[in-house]
Structure 1
Amino acid sequence: MKINELFEDVITEDLRYEFKAILNQENPIKWAKTLVAFANGNGGILFVGVSDNMEAFGLSLSEIDKAKNLVSIINDRHIFPHIKIRYQLRSTDDKAEKFVLAIKVESSQSVVRYREGDFSEIVYVKGDGNTTPATPEEIISLSKRKYGVDDEISEILYEEDNWKGFLNLCKEYRENATAPTLKELQNEEIVSKDGYAKSGFLMFKDDYDGDDSLICCRLWKGLNKAGSVLDSARYKGPLSQVFIYSLRFIERNTRIGWEKTKSGGRREIRSYPIEAIREAIVNAIAHRDYSINGTQIDIDIFDDRIDIVSPGSWLLPKTYEEYPLGSIPSIRRNKIIAACLDIANLMERGGTGFQTMVECYKGCKSEKQPGVLIYPGFLDLRLFDMLYESDLKIELEDLSDKEKVLELLKIGAKSVKELQTILKYKNRGEFLKTVINPLIKEGKIYRKGNVKSPTTLIYIS
């Protein structure tokens, strides 16, 4: 009798099924590795009493009992964490004297290892008809898939000196301009009760240098990638750092226009509203799938739009078009990374980030509203240039740098950093020396706050 006469779905050994004539007690790793691999995958069934050519010859009830007892012993002594198993019997003869034992293994929520002695642990994964030890890269990918990339407690104790970049980010964007306390981080489960950082929080650590934090930025000439690249940058490191650098890249490639108000004044119009850009980058960092190796977030600026493309499938049950504009539900792919951005006041639990983007484009034509394009394994968040083919006049281009600063400050106070970004100065010292300090000496502008701080506000006199 063939095995597919007892189990119709079984055609051959593959990712879900494997056959064993018997379970060798003297060398259990020969079959136990299959159980481990099934648990590390999507689950599977090991059939005992079946030959390699799919002949279901079966075992006696006493042999079945011995096999089940052996599986229980090995699971208890050598497989960690223990796997969940169910058994099923099918008779191979009319007299019900012989049976095939089906050992059903459930997919584990943790990475499962086979332990031999005190120092030898091996993670096994299932191939198509074979079981092999996982490579270091496969273990990392498996761990990220099992734990959602970021919710595993690490062996790194949280110390403020090692997260200065993240704490400075919090000070910049939190309403009270303070860094979060250890208690706050623990309440948000970013740090364990014992003071250890979660794996997602490690991606904000000052010395983090993982390839999975990479963001590639490009400014294109034209409406597609057929044109030449006018500006480009690659940012890798702590997530707080790549966020700031990516934001600055877009800012230095953002045009500014003006429109007259009813009162006779002027209102600043940017190609891309600061709030919309910030929300878009935060969304990409928070929701990308970090388990997909060899990928990055891509920020491409074209003449008429920005495309922010991040790895990861669409998680919601409906397509983007089926949700009312600005009311996309919030589903967090990376719990801890999202919590870090939330505690820095960059992301809200209510999923209002996309609503903020929509509000920034209020009054724009429907074809210029923010949108999401869904591709297999990738999401493209698209923001349109509000000044593209617009009647708004770009008035700063023919002015000197000092005149540009004065025009910008007529709209309202701005920080030194913001002015430096708009005027495209790479060196803050040079910007202060040639533009800001001379204007202060002339009495045309004045500074409020710390002289050395880039976030100090500048006002027109």
Structure 2
Amino acid sequence: MSAIATSERARTAIELGESHFREFKSALEGEPGKKKKRPIKDIATNIAQTLVAFANADGGELLVGVEDSGEVTGLEGFSQSEIELLKEASVTRVHKDTPLPTVRKTLVSLDSHNVLYFSVAKSVEYVHVTSDGRCLQRRDLESVPVSSEAVQFDRREIQSREYDRKFVDGVSADDLDLGLVRIVADQVLKGMSVEKCLQYLELGEYGLSQLSLSQLKLRKAALLLFAKSPAKWHPRVQIRILKIDGDELGTGEGYNAISDTTINGNIITLVEDAWEALRPHLVHTKFDKSARFEQKSIYPELACREALLNAIAHRDYSEEGRGIEVFIYSNRLEIKNPGSLLSSIRLEDIVNQKGAHQSRNTYISRVLRELGYMRELGEGMRRIYELMHRNELAPPVLKSSSDGFTITLTHRPLYSGKDLLWLSQFEQFDLDREQKAIILLGQEARVFSAQEIWDAVGIVDTEHYRKLMSGLVKLDILKSQISKDEARKLAAKKKIPNKQFPRFEISLPKSGSTSVKAQKADISDSTHTLFISNLSFEATRSEVFDIMTSFGTVANIHFPLSKGRSKGYCLVEFESSSVAKALLASATPISLRDRNLVIRTATPRKSD
């Protein structure tokens, strides 16, 4: 057992809240003020189901006697024999042919209440089922039924899944960058010690009589994440970045790599260092319309960062002879990482953006998620698809083979040649993706319905629809072939909903339209841009983007860095001035990394 007090571990779990790795179960039921004991059988069933789900996924902790909100209500009125029955649920209510790996189970006292604490590791030996034959797996905040086949994996996969969790002989805390561990400890819980952090994240463990930091047994995950000299423990904790002159990599005399850079380091430093090395390759410099040099992104930065992080978190580290490779061709960006997809994850599910809910490297993924680099499992790949679509680029191409997993991003437009020819006639308006989706409905003088607009754009809000339509009407592009009243009558005759009756058409722009001037005036309005200060130096562009997009559409973020870290401020440009004004007028503080952001209108630079 770990030397960290179970009660402290339980308190930390409550502080962090429910997640993919933590679940709370109440032992009471009924209305507030009139709660009573839940039936023992029901609680025991909940315990078995949750532990089975954790073991079939990435392991986790269960606290019985705690509400979903984190309120400790305890096991009031439960006898000692009843508590023992609950403890034994991890055995008696799990199928005897699929016993759980070692389950920690302890009765702890929290806020004068008794709480049952359970923890179970990820299993690599069985696909676990409950005594009544239910197979469940943890997926984000839920324990969901799955088929046993979905959890099966072969022996090679067992080795890859076990790799980061194995304890390493001949290693001590002196082999770790303890300064880096302290930073992570503060992220998990302010003031947490290095020892407790390593234990809480299950990266280290003491023997029964060993209590000093130098005697802490460490897993491979701890070395991969924090080692001073990671190459001593793994020869390929690295990312190789090759810039290729052309669309294919040549060999011999035809070798056409312009640059070949290898980034080494533990995973925590590799995340930032590899990104800083890759980022300059994602832009190109060209003349703008005013004959000035400008840098333009070839790929969406956030999509590339997500893809790189996905490779670092989910590569097969048991393949020690290979590292992650990034190939930057003229027409595409390929990121290859050792290890095929887990057998429980289907490539078509990722392509269809259903999400993937399991990680090969449990402990590595957990640390990256606790630090905020990763979101809930499966969200990263969905985000890549979303970002490529938002930037009007073709979706990523995924390939999984015994040789590894590859994600390819291209700067090929989302539209066909025919679509581009049609859209080129509207270039003067600088239309956004949603407006273009509507205009494409009107190719070849086609008349379309309101429902088709909703479906093409993915509208879910009436006000959004009205605003979008109004913008195109003002540009004199969108017109009604017949009136709304007439359409209503004709729809009634056809016995179809009004929304499905075709009545809209696209009109080619007239020569000399003045609408462009009005659009440019709106875009250049300085009230759209806000100056954000009091940022933590550890804050990231992605974090700011996520917060600001919850208020409205973000057009751009200027996020200056110094030696890879935030300078403490940034500029955020919103597409709508109303969003910027609402943020300025809001009395509710916006917090990031325990700091309240200071927000004011950006002051435009004076022209020379």
Normalised by the length of structure 1, the TM-score is 0.47
Q: Higher relative contact order at CA 8 Å, sep ≥6: structure 1 or structure 2?
A: 1
Larger radius of gyration: 1
- Larger fraction in helix: 2
Normalised by the length of structure 2, the TM-score is 0.37
